Structure 1
Amino acid sequence: MTNTAKILNFGRGNFAEQERNVADLDDGYARLSNMLLEAYSGADLTKRQFKVLLAILRKTYGWNKPMDRITDSQLSEITKLPVKRCNEAKLELVRMNIIKQQGGMFWTK
């Protein structure tokens, strides 16, 4: 009789082979104050409004600008929403006083 054991695989896999997916900060990042992040996290926004808000934050804070001229087509490209829906969500955010608009310039409060 030999002393052998049968090894059972319960689906846990080989931990040494797992690839870790982490954000690459060398690829860029947007500095956003914790106060704004917490306020936006708690805001009662639709999915569409939130996507447009994130796109505006990316086009402003992502480039270290307090405000920027942002077209609806730029928002559409980032959010993958139709241009018309981006415009509607953007105007809703202005009415909700979450973002400010003057001409084509937009910024967050």
Structure 2
Amino acid sequence: MELWNYRPDVYDRGKSLDLVGYHVQATDGKVGSVDEATYEVGESYVIVDTGPWIFGKKVMLPAQVITSIDPQERKLFVARTKAEIKEAPEFDEGTFKEHEYRTKIGDYYGRFPG
């Protein structure tokens, strides 16, 4: 599913990049920092620790929502608003790698344009 792949113009799989610690910018401001990131074809995502913004909640973002990465500033930009991220299904540490959970996340983020 395309939602779980990085956009070709955002991340070149031929290059090594560790996004952990990068600041995450929604279309309307900062939402947190990357706690974990994966780079597998068809299964790529970032886990964002929102810190005090939404009371320490973590959220999973499919790689496709990332619109650009700035290695110099250690920032990544996503095509979602803070409210859209805040309203995402609750992050579940125990099931986030399972197909059913990813389907729920994919259904949620997949309904937004671009």
TM-score, normalising length: structure 2: 0.24
Query: Whose relative contact order is higher, 1 or 2, with alpha carbons under 8 Å and at least 6 apart?
Result: 2
TM-score, normalising length: structure 1: 0.25
State which structure, 1 or 2, has the greater radius of gyration over its C-alpha atoms.
1
Higher helix share: 1
